[in-house]
Structure 1
Amino acid sequence: MAHVLVVTLNPALDLSIQLPRLEPGAVNRTRSSHLAAAGKGLNVAQVLVSLGHRVTLSGFLGADNDTAFVQACRRDGIEDASLRLPGETRINAKLAEDDGRVTDINGPGIEVSEAALAELTADLVARCKATSPAAVVVTGSLPPGATPEALAALIRALKASGVPVWIDTSGPALTAALAVLPDAAKPNEQELADWAGGPLTDPAAQLDAVRRLHASGVEEAILSLGGDGVLWVSRRGEWRATPPRVEVRNTVGAGDTLLAALLHGVIADQSPQEALRQATALAAEAVRHIGVGNPHAGDFQELLQQTSVSRCGEARVGGNA
């Protein structure tokens, strides 16, 4: 299908641990553990590839322990264009309990210099001009040395190349990113509440905040509500999706799955109902296991049928739905 450039500034090796229940201060016995290349960027790239797209993954990697990432990209058919820096990529521990609760213990990441950021920015802009990808996805946290202002400058440079920019980050990085108006953003409820300046106490408040985000200039305003579904406001209208009920095993990767699948729907020019239904169902498929959603799961058609999508109304800006 299309070519997508995915950028992850602070990737990680994920140590995923499944256990019945975490007992702090005690000896805990695990059911399983798995160490693998991970991070939001790799998650997004894997979903996009599974949906038929050609993906280039860029960002920063520690040169001393990049083998898992090299192998993951080769296995999944992802072009590896990450800039190698001296040192090691961080290791994050993710403790998943039987009740669905996940505890993340994340490392800070490898130190990034201004020179490295400038080199990466120049390379990304050159790739955009040379290959005209359908979109650039900038996702994940910021490593030490990369400021929110630096992220905003990167997004501004990518936008200037004429390629749509989708972002998924949090905290001050999200605030800085939203200030330069990316084409799409996917905050969760707390992140959007922080941006909106107050709690989103009911569905009406949630919809109003997403409308405001869209009205500010973010074309694809997406609110992820976990098990309560998704709100999406764009020029296509205002839509709410409710996912099917599934057994939640691990929520890590569900948000990345949602973002990637919705981007797929936009690139493929699907109807908003079809795009949001597929993205929501695929995110629900993801929470049933460790990893991202699998569009080839045997019961995926059933999950699609069990996913409800309804129209909330007309978007206030951005043209006709």
Structure 2
Amino acid sequence: MARVLTITLNPALDLNVETGRVDLGCVNRTRTSRLEAAGKGVNLGRVLSRLGHSVTLSGLLGETNATPFENLFASERLEDRFVRVPGHNRINVKIAEDGGRVTDLNGTGMVAPPDALDHLKSRLGELSGEYDAVIIAGSLPGGFLPEALSELATLARSANVPVWLDTSGPALTAGLLALPDGIKPNLDELAEWAGQPLDTLAAITEAARLLQDRGIANVVVSMGEKGVLWLSPQGNWRSLPPPVTVTSTVCAGDTLLAGMIHGLLEKHHPEQILSTATALSAECVRHAGVGDPQADDFSRLIQQTRVSPWPGHNKNGDMPL
């Protein structure tokens, strides 16, 4: 299996809550709650490790409440190369109501010290020959400029290591300048980058193609229950997920990207890559936490996933989502 490095610059403790309908301004009772060490790169690493890869996690980790992360790394067989910085990691509250509505309350955490980028570069060392893929994922902490994220991506690219980026806003804009091999925006993130609503499949395809025209080889757009659009050098595909009961969409995008990178590293056929990744993401939304490739019915979920070539502007290209 492959060696993968994920970089998380703004990790979080996620408080995942399942409940009935929330009445604002009233006392509500939760059905279940779980506090879990998380962050996009951490979530990606957990899935990739479960898929059999050797995973190293790095980035910035607040030292005040680092223990839950360290416990998770040990239990999931993840190599810890995080740079400890003063302060605490943020706490995010994810409220999943019956019916599938999810509300995120994302907290603020540490402020990166001025020398954080230098320490991180030193910790990463020589990338060439050490990793088969690098994934930079998640938001930026206070004090960490978007241009610094671009530097990290450029560092990996200069070592001839495939780099994937999963972020949004100014961090995405800056990261694109490093020309990562792939990105995975969701619809909202892609619309924000495009500067306009993306209400049809044709509009989504056009925005993704604009990213390809800038030099991004792989553009993976997650569209929730509408599936996934993947534009790649080998062709374009769209997937439709299997029917599942949605409990929480938290971690679904991270799980999807982990499945995509797994298939690419294993050199699977593109349709197999997308069907497996989409099915794994569908498995994820059935419960809190990341997707489980060892789920008893995972093979059935793959079989129920539909993948077809996507030509873009065909007779159905202007259909609303």
Contact 1:132/1:163 (CA < 8 Å) preserved in 2? no
Q: Distance in 2 between the 1:265 and 1:28 partners?
A: 42
Q: TM-score, normalised by structure 2?
A: 0.94
Matching residue of 2:51: 51
Query: Residue 310 of structure 1: CA displacement?
Result: 0.2
SS in 1 for 2:310: strand
Matching residue of 1:198: 196
Matching residue of 1:105: 105
What pairs with 1:272-291 in structure 2 (closer than 5 Å)? Answer: 272-291=270-289
Q: Which amino acid aligns with 1:240?
A: R
Query: Residue 127 of structure 1: CA displacement?
Result: 4.3
Q: Distance in 2 between the 1:90 and 1:190 partners?
A: 23
* Among 224, 230, 233, the residue aligned to 2:231: 233
Query: Residue 179 of structure 1: CA displacement?
Result: 2.6
SS in 2 for 1:81: strand
Contact 2:169/2:193 (CA < 8 Å) preserved in 1? no
Matching residue of 2:127: 128
The answer to whether residue 268 in structure 2 is matched with residue 270 in structure 1 is: yes
Contact 2:40/2:138 (CA < 8 Å) preserved in 1? yes
Matching residue of 1:65: 65
Q: Which amino acid aligns with 2:21?
A: R
Q: Distance in 2 between the 1:312 and 1:14 partners?
A: 36
Query: Residue 190 of structure 1: CA displacement?
Result: 2.0
Contact 2:91/2:108 (CA < 8 Å) preserved in 1? no
Matching residue of 1:83: 83
Query: Residue 109 of structure 1: CA displacement?
Result: 2.0
The Cα offsets for residues 295-314 of structure 1, whole Å up to 9 and x where unpaired, read as 11111111111100000139
What pairs with 1:120-159 in structure 2 (closer than 5 Å)? Answer: 120-124=120-124, 126-129=125-128, 131-159=129-157
Q: TM-score, normalised by structure 1?
A: 0.94
Q: Distance in 2 between the 1:15 and 1:257 partners?
A: 18
Unaligned runs of 5+ in 2: 313-321
What pairs with 1:170-319 in structure 2 (closer than 5 Å)? Answer: 170-313=168-311
SS in 2 for 1:114: coil
Higher helix share: 1
Query: Which moves more between the two structures, 293-302 or 114-123?
Result: 114-123
Q: Distance in 1 between the 2:248 and 2:86 partners?
A: 33
Q: Distance in 2 between the 1:122 and 1:176 partners?
A: 22
* Root mean square deviation, CA, Å: 1.4
SS in 2 for 1:65: coil
